[in-house]
Amino acid sequence: MHKIQSSKAQLIYSALLFGLSCLALFFMWIQRGFCLGMERDGEELTAQETALYDRQIRVWGADAQRRLSKAHVLVYGMKGTVAEFCKNVVLAGVGSLTLVDDRVATEEALSSNFLIPPVENVYGGKTLAELCCNSLKDFNPMVRVSVEKGDLSSFGVEFFSKFDVVVVSCCSLSAKKLANDKCRKLSKRVAFYAVDCRDSCGEVFVDLQDYKYSKKKQDETIECDLKYPSFEDALSVPWRSFHKRMSKLYFAMRVIEKFEEAEGRGAGEVSIADLSAVLKLKKDLCTGQSLNESHVPDTLLERLVTNATEFPPVCAVIGGILGQEVIKAISGKGDPLKNFFYFDAFDGKGIIEDISAN
């Protein structure tokens, strides 16, 4: 009895909502026509937005939701972790999401990606970005999802100025550094993130440059100012200066990254056959950095080269954490992580490491 009533109420409610949203759209259209280019900062959320985002507005507030709806996000490298991330920010209601990945879909690329049906005649011939774009549009009609063609390294500084957040994945060390530097050249702050998952491990790098935010502690408001190093600067911090318990994954990821760069391989193009060469490189790097080799266990490197493909549960974890961090940075709510995050499904720890020159 009660159920019937409430579903009736739902029907009426959704009919009402539909009516209201048509009305809202109509007014927005009129407003656009008359005050083009006007700053619409004080604008309120529509009834449709309030209904859709109800539960999350209760977490981060209407202000944060408005800021989200004006943010433009760029992602590069459409594999499992980034697919998870895209889902999260599209659901959260960012203003726009631009996907870049010209690679043609292969079965391997789809293994952890729920955005693409693994049916050859559907994905055949299309790029990863195009395929993901189609699915993502469906998730939230209020978010503009689009594809941009091109190679990450070929985009100029101007290109990056269109975005508030840049997330890169599945690309070489030099491409990451280059993209990060271009973001840093801009006068406005573009939040930069690099993310990668291999086997059952994941890494997130965050560069928010100079990030100021306020937070409430008991009854007072504290102003916080975080200074982030660039990816290049963070990587140049000498290993011997780290605390003793530095995540082993940090070193292991650097070894593999260096190996791929030295061999001219693409991200993830390693196999068990490379193990001895990777272990040799590790020895050299540890010697050069005066770091005891035990900090970079061979077993860990073995895992990472044996299975370079992503592990779906880890994609979900890393894509979730990354989504949360991007939402924090856009909304100005919550303490952002600085500046590396590691997760290994083996021990289950999700650890933040701050790797800065000072």
Partner 1 sequence: MASPPFSYAVVKDAKVLMVGAGGIGCELLKTLALSGFPDIHIIDMDTIEVSNLNRQFLFRQSHVGQSKAKVARDAVLKFRPHIDITPYHANVKDPEFNVDFFKQFNVVLNGLDNLDARRHVNRLCLAANVPLVESGTTGFLGQVTVHVKGRTECYECQPKPAPKTYPVCTITSTPSKFVHCVVWAKDLLFAKLFGDKNQDNDLNVRSSDGASSSENVDDVFERRKDEDIDQYGRKIFDHVFGYNIELALSNEETWKNRNRPKPIYSKDVLSDELAQQNGNLEKNCACDDELSVSAMTSLGMKNPQDIWSLRENSKIFLEALRIFFTKREKEVGNLGFDKDDQLAVEFVTAAANIRAASFGIPLHSLFEAKGIAGNIVHAVATTNAVIAGLIVIEAIKVLQNDIESCRMTYCLEHPSRNMLLMPVEPFEPNKSCYVCSETPLSLEINTNRSKLKDLVEKIVKAKLGMNIPLIMCASNLLYEAGDVEDDMIAIYEANLEKVLAELPSPVTGGTMLTVEDMQQEFVCNINIKHREEFDEEKEPDEMVLLGWIQPVSAAENKDKSVDNGGSTTSDAVVTAVESEKDDEITIVSTLKKRKLPDEIDISSAPADVKHQKQLEVIDDEDDLVMLDGDLDSFKKRRLS
Residue 285's CB: how many other CB atoms inside 10 A? 18
Q: How far out from the chain centre does Cα 3 lie?
A: 40
SS3 state at 268:
coil
Least CB distance from residue 354 to partner 1, whole Å?
Answer: 8
Nearer to partner 1, 155 or 205 (CB): 205
Nearer to partner 1, 77 or 202 (CB): 202
Taking CA 212 as the corner, what is the angle to CA 350 and CA 83, rounded to the nearest 5 degrees? 45
Residue 236's CB: how many other CB atoms inside 10 A? 11
Nearer to partner 1, 182 or 248 (CB): 248
Least CB distance from residue 339 to partner 1, whole Å?
Answer: 12
Least CB distance from residue 252 to partner 1, whole Å?
Answer: 14
Nearer to partner 1, 4 or 273 (CB): 4
Least CB distance from residue 348 to partner 1, whole Å?
Answer: 4
Joined together, the tokens standing for residue 120 give: 């050859």
Nearer to partner 1, 209 or 309 (CB): 309
Determine phi and psi for 195, rounding to 5 degrees.
Answer: -140, 140
Least CB distance from residue 279 to partner 1, whole Å?
Answer: 16
Please give the Cα distance from 228 to 223 (Å, whole number): 16
Length in residues, the chain: 358
Cα–Cα distances in Å, from 297 out to 146, 302, 309? 42, 9, 20
Nearer to partner 1, 68 or 173 (CB): 68
Instruction: Decide: 193 and 206 in contact? Cβ < 8 Å.
Output: yes
Least CB distance from residue 34 to partner 1, whole Å?
Answer: 20
